[in-house]
Amino acid sequence: MRRTLHIARMVFYKELTELLRDYRTVLISIGVPLVLFPALVLVLSVNITRAESAFESGIRVGVVAHDHFDLHDYFAQQELISVQSLSDVAAGSESLAAGDVSTVVISRQWGGAGGPGADAGAGVTLLYDNTDLFSQAAAEYLGALLSAYSDGVRSAQIAELGLSPDSLATLQVELLGLHDPSRSAGTLALSFLIPVLMLVSAALGPLASAADLGAGEKERGTLEPLLGTGASRSALLLGKFGACSVMGLLGMLAFFAGAGLAYLIGPGVFGSDELQFALGPGTVALLVGFAAATVLVLSSLELALSFLARSAKAAQTYFIPVLILSSAAGYGTYMINLEALPLWHYHIPLFNIALILKATVLGRLSLVPLLVTTGWILLYVTCSLAAAHNLLRHEAALRRG
């Protein structure tokens, strides 16, 4: 046992040294996760800024107005809006398609003919390009303006009747959250983001290393001399598993560092500048522990698949379902109510880990699901390593692709 651990340590140091000397592995495992989110956020921020600038420079609105409403004058008085009168709906569609206007406002007369849905009664139709985000945003903005306009008209009409507009007010509903709204929104966002990010990064982090340490050894012809030494298969496997897991953890760390950096670069992209991502030290410690466990599960699985494959290329093909399942497990926790969740959900591989991560973020971790999932994690790692060990013992391990 002592000799096995000694050799495993030697294999671990050697594999880690070799992996860290390979700039491609470092780039894929650590570099890409580190810059992925900041790069995405930068691109999105640039696009958001561009869209905001476009809004600020003005929205071109086409109006097909009938006499009943003074829409043309109303929009002409608004800031940021330039109005163009159009003769009919067909002309409006043409202008929209040509990009001359962002949205076309069509007023409908009482029971009259005047555009799409004209027989539906009085109202306004907003015609916009639903394949263009700017046109969509402009339509939403105009919709809000029209609601305010409608309220104004209604109030004036009620006042003309000698009534107070407040006398027709309906039931006022107020939503009051239990927790600080900005903080609870942040926690809610994290309870979705952390399971997804952690599972995806745990699957991506060890990927390049696992491919290199298993199938890569076969491909380079280094597995044969390695298996020809006096070292036991268990020692070789333990060392490789350790190196692969460390690379996975570094990858995950890079992923979260990248996500944090992205938030600092462009918080608006995350939905609100006001979100507070506050987690207590206990929760963070638990998450770190679960992160390590998740990496161990996926490293062992990917290493076993890598020994099954005859070439690094084949190994990468085997990894695709693992990546898809990990992402699906993370996304699967969205809209899940943990309180009402039957225990059998915690028997589903990977999904149980995602559920535990979500429960940890929300501070709703219960003992039984935790024990069930921990048991499964131990079983996954043991089974994967046993499978890898068995593959290494078999002479087919030497066959190359």
Partner 1 sequence: MTRLHVDQGPRRRYATQDVNATPAIELRRVTKCFSPSSPPAVTELEFSASPGEVIGMLGENGAGKTTTLRMIAGLIRPSSGQVLVNGYDTQREPARTRRSVGALFGGAVGLYDRLSGSENIRYFAYLNGLSGPDARRCTEELIELLEMQSFAERRVAEYSSGMKQRAALARALVHRPEILLLDEPTTGLDIGSALIVQQFVHRQKSAGKLILLSSHNIEELETLCDRVLIVHGGQLRHVARRDDTGGYDLRGLYTRTMESVR
The residue ranges that bind partner 1 (CB under 8 A) are 3, 7, 10-11, 14, 17-18, 21-22, 220-232, 395, 398
CA distances from 352 to 35, 295, 329, 372 (A): 29, 14, 8, 9
Residue 88 CA to residue 118 CA, distance in Å, equals: 13
Q: What is the closest distance, in whole angstroms, from the C-beta atom of residue 20 to partner 1 in the complex? A: 9
Q: What is the closest distance, in whole angstroms, from the C-beta atom of residue 287 to partner 1 in the complex? A: 34
Judged by beta carbon, residue 60 or residue 233, the one nearer partner 1 is 233
CB neighbourhood size of 102 (10 A) = 26
Judged by beta carbon, residue 23 or residue 110, the one nearer partner 1 is 23
Judged by beta carbon, residue 190 or residue 309, the one nearer partner 1 is 309
Q: What is the closest distance, in whole angstroms, from the C-beta atom of residue 17 to partner 1 in the complex? A: 7
Q: What is the closest distance, in whole angstroms, from the C-beta atom of residue 191 to partner 1 in the complex? A: 41
Judged by beta carbon, residue 22 or residue 132, the one nearer partner 1 is 22
Judged by beta carbon, residue 235 or residue 353, the one nearer partner 1 is 235
Phi and psi at 171, nearest 5°, equal -60, 125
Per the listing, tokens 């036991």 go with 232
Judged by beta carbon, residue 179 or residue 394, the one nearer partner 1 is 394
Single out the residue of 323, 172, 194 nearest to residue 260, CA to CA. 194
Q: What is the closest distance, in whole angstroms, from the C-beta atom of residue 7 to partner 1 in the complex? A: 6
Torsion angle of C-alpha atoms 59, 65, 69, 74, degrees rounded to 10: 20
Residue 139 CA to residue 101 CA, distance in Å, equals: 11
Judged by beta carbon, residue 7 or residue 354, the one nearer partner 1 is 7
Contacts of 81 (CB under 8 A, 6+ apart): 58, 59, 61, 75
Residue 247 CA to residue 34 CA, distance in Å, equals: 14
Q: What is the closest distance, in whole angstroms, from the C-beta atom of residue 22 to partner 1 in the complex? A: 6
Q: What is the closest distance, in whole angstroms, from the C-beta atom of residue 207 to partner 1 in the complex? A: 18
Residue 281 CA to residue 104 CA, distance in Å, equals: 54
> Quick one: DSSP state of residue 397?
G
Query: Distance from first CA to last CA of the chain, Å, rounded?
Result: 34
Q: Which amino acid is at 340?
A: A
